[in-house]
Amino acid sequence: MNRPQLTTSTAPNRRSSGARRVSSLLLVSAAALGLAACATPFKADVSRFAAELPAPKGQTFAVVAEDPKLAGGLEFGLYANNVASELRELGYVQAVGPEAADLLVRFDYGVDNGRERVRTTNAGFGAAGFAPWGGFGGFGFRRAYAFGFYDPWLAGPNVRSYTVYTGDVEVKIDNAKTGDRLFEGRAESVSRSNRLQSIVPNLVDALFTDFPGNSGETLRITIREDEKTVRRED
């Protein structure tokens, strides 16, 4: 007896395929947001004062510690090299030591112990939807409600606290022979990190942007991976 042939459909499940595409798009979007967060620009306020600082014509310099406790330290030497690199790029010549230098560059750096900052976000209207144990509403992620529709009057404001740190570098340049002060500069930043290894090089970079600048002027220097912007602070 000839039995009828049974055939199995191989048509793709369109709903499953569509769900996979949506999931892929969500993952790509999340990755893009993560990269954008990592590219947060570094901002510093820079103040500089100059008096008869000679234009670079081969004058020699030596970077020394303003704080004697830092002198000779490996960490100080690392950051002092950042300062020396900036000065060499400008056209000054690094001396073999302070005794042979035309200019003494006094360098100091530090970061404070931090202070607490509180940010309050009002949930407000427009955070919508049924969301067990929190959900994604119009103003972001909320955890202040359980089953049911979100009621802003019951949830109250969203309060977060975190610690911010103020880091700074100072550079003072003296005439080595006369002791006259030729330049003073300070760069300061506020961030959520107290790691000197990341703060100090960026502050040095900001301080020497458009060096020596206009005496008595304070600038906001913004450093991104591909550019710098300079804005005068009134």
Q: Give the pLDDT mean for 144-162.
A: 55
Is 112 within a domain? yes
Is 12 within a domain? no
- Residues 8-24 have pLDDT tens digits of 445 555 555 555 664 55
pLDDT at residue 122 tops 70: no
- Look up the domain containing 91 and give its range: 40-117+162-232
Is 7 within a domain? no
Q: Distances from the Cα of 220 to the Cαs of 46, 144, 205, in angstroms?
A: 6, 39, 13
Residue 187 belongs to domain with CATH number: 3.30.160.670
- Residues 49-76 have pLDDT tens digits of 999 888 899 999 999 999 999 999 999 9
Is 97 within a domain? yes
- Residues 165-202 have pLDDT tens digits of 999 999 999 999 999 999 999 999 998 888 899 899 99
Band of the pLDDT at 229, cuts 50, 70, 90? confident
Is 131 within a domain? no
Q: Distances from the Cα of 33 to the Cαs of 30, 37, 157, in angstroms?
A: 5, 6, 25
Higher per-residue pLDDT: 192 or 107: 107
Is 183 within a domain? yes
Number of domains in the chain: 1
Question: How confident is the model at residue 226, as a pLDDT?
Answer: 67
Is 21 within a domain? no
On whether the CB atoms of residues 148 and 130 are closer than 8 A, the answer is yes
**92 CB-contact burial (10 Å; exposed 0-12 / middle 13-18 / buried 19+):** buried
Is 199 within a domain? yes
What is the pTM assigned to this prediction? 0.66
Q: Give the pLDDT mean for 213-227.
A: 86
